[in-house]
Structure 1
Amino acid sequence: MFDTSTKSLTSLKIEQGVAWLTMERGQAYNALSDELMEQMTEQLQTLAKHPQCKVVVIKGAGRGFCAGHDLKQLTQDQDAQRQHRTFERCATLMQTLVNIPQPVIAQVHGIATAAGCQLVASCDLAVAEKGARFATPGVNIGLFCSTPMVALTRSLAPKHAMEMLLTGDMIDAERAHQIGLINRIVDEQELDTCVAELAQSIAAKSGYCVQTGKQAFYRQLNQPLANAYEDCSQVMSCNLQHQDAVEGIDAFITKRKPTWSS
């Protein structure tokens, strides 16, 4: 097991192929300060190259997952360039979640609002406890959730995303599940176990296969249909030549458990 922490804003544990990255600003509902976003981005970039990491879980300490940007820090002065740098840091963090080769799971409890909801939408999978609530409430304070919109519109049907953005209303876990923002709802006391089981299920697969699949998934999303098939046909051809595919197919045919190279 590998453990580290950085200035108490985050904590990181890697165990059995799963990295547990926890936001440690529980007293502020894990609001995304510049420092927290920078630390998370750096740790995710390090995990991307970590040989023992096959899955990443993002979670929050305290009473909620993430309340979005730290508005006090964001508005402490009205310097437009400094504020823009904050949104650039956020964009870098969200893109890093998508771009690292490992699947990323959001473990959600309490609230996930504004950029916190964006964080959920940017992860590959999300599991929430029954009491979790979600919103993009910027419209209620005169600041439209334009950057969270980028992630929402890539996860939800346009009209579902637009309803959240225009009303700013809080939705419960059941509604979030219905519209595709989260994958699963569990009892609060079962959240850790459910996420661990999901993460371990993925970690047990070929790392090469899973990482290849994640990268191809996002690359083909906005391609024209013919281009997407051409791209993914090439991906499958290369995948078929990899030793893990050779091993996996032989194990399937001979009815044995495969031994992966990664």
Structure 2
Amino acid sequence: MPAADAGPVGNVTLIPGELPRIRLDRPAKRNAVNGPMAERFTELAQKVVDQGAVAAVLEASGPVFTAGADLVDLDDGARAVERMIDCLLTLPVHWVAVVRQPVLGAGMAFLAAVPLVIATPAASFALPELARGFFPASMMTGQAQSLGLRAAYDLAFSARPVGAERAHALGLVNAVIADEHVESHVAGRVALLHQCPRAEVLLGVTSWQAAVRPALQRAHHPPATPAHSTSPTPARLEGP
């Protein structure tokens, strides 16, 4: 197996191969996204394109797939999330997200940006912001497109996670596969792509990106408490 490209900074790893894998690899911070992480992700995603891959896996190490934006620096975290979403919606790659852990907050926007999401039974999905004092208004257009209007707002108003099977029923994930069978399932799905004309697969990727881009242009972590609110500034939710 080719050596992984981990790099000294950024906490994102590229595992090259016939099916390249980009791994969010900042487990101590729950894979919360900051500027260096987004920069590294963009660099490695471009390497995937340069290597001629049609498809690539997006996965994560640690107990959380991603907690969304790193709120240690609010503005930096927001820009970092937007940069990664832009990368997912721009490069000619059919992304396959493999989710084995909880996905929180703005991390949900990453899933909305990719055409194939495979979850294991251990995965869960949440927009928990309201429980901490603010509503994730800036994310809702993208989530409504992904889940449907009522389901998206129910998820946001409840602020509670849904499990993998419920997420599948809502259309957030394409399939729920036992962890021991995930790799073979993903390999089979990608093999089907490789049987098709490359140009047509990439045309499909472009079509997908054009369809979801408008709703995700503003998909990032919620803004700070509005000026008219009497609530205290909410505690950090998505970051470590």
TM over 0.5: yes
Q: Which of 175, 189, 195 matches 1:184?
A: 175
Q: 2:183 & 2:92 partners in 1: Cα distance?
A: 23
Q: 1:184 & 1:55 partners in 2: Cα distance?
A: 18
The aligned residue for residue 36 of structure 2 is: 35
CA offset digits 1:64-84 (Å, max 9, x no partner): 31122223x23xxxxxxxx33
Q: Which of 87, 92, 111 matches 1:101?
A: 92
Q: 1:92 & 1:222 partners in 2: Cα distance?
A: 13
Residue 128 (structure 2) pairs with residue 137 (structure 1): yes
Superposed CA RMSD: 2.2
What is the letter of the counterpart of residue 52 of structure 2? Q
| Runs ≥4 residues deviating over 6 A | none
What is the letter of the counterpart of residue 193 of structure 1? S
The aligned residue for residue 15 of structure 1 is: 17
Cα distance change on mapping 1:37 and 1:221 into 2, 3 Å: closer
Greater relative contact order (Cα < 8 A, sep 6+): 2
Q: 2:130 & 2:189 partners in 1: Cα distance?
A: 35
Q: 1:91 & 1:133 partners in 2: Cα distance?
A: 22
TM superposition shift of 1:193: 2.7
Q: 2:123 & 2:191 partners in 1: Cα distance?
A: 23
What is the letter of the counterpart of residue 192 of structure 1? E
Q: Which structure has the bigger radius of gyration?
A: 1
Q: 1:111 & 1:213 partners in 2: Cα distance?
A: 29
TM superposition shift of 1:195: 2.1
TM superposition shift of 1:13: 1.9
% identical aligned pairs:
22
What is the letter of the counterpart of residue 57 of structure 1? V
What is the letter of the counterpart of residue 44 of structure 1? A
TM superposition shift of 1:118: 1.8
Q: 1:13 & 1:222 partners in 2: Cα distance?
A: 27
What is the letter of the counterpart of residue 14 of structure 1? P
The aligned residue for residue 55 of structure 2 is: 55
Q: 1:6 & 1:103 partners in 2: Cα distance?
A: 24
Aligned length: 212
Greater alpha carbon shift after TM alignment, 114-123 vs 127-136:
114-123
- Greater fraction of residues in helix: 1
TM superposition shift of 1:136: 0.8
CA offset digits 1:35-91 (Å, max 9, x no partner): 21221123223433x2431101100012231122223x23xxxxxxxx334312211
What is the letter of the counterpart of residue 62 of structure 1? G
What is the letter of the counterpart of residue 56 of structure 2? V
Q: 2:159 & 2:168 partners in 1: Cα distance?
A: 18
Residue 10 (structure 2) pairs with residue 5 (structure 1): no
TM-score, normalized by length of structure 1?
A: 0.73
User: What's the secondary structure of 1:154's corresponding residue?
Assistant: helix
Could you tell me which runs of 5 or more consecutive residues in structure 1 were left unpaired when the two chains were aligned.
Answer: 75-82, 224-262
CA contact (8 A) 2:59 2:65 kept: yes
User: What's the secondary structure of 1:153's corresponding residue?
Assistant: helix
CA contact (8 A) 1:136 1:148 kept: no
Could you tell me which runs of 5 or more consecutive residues in structure 2 were left unpaired when the two chains were aligned.
Answer: 215-240
TM superposition shift of 1:188: 2.0
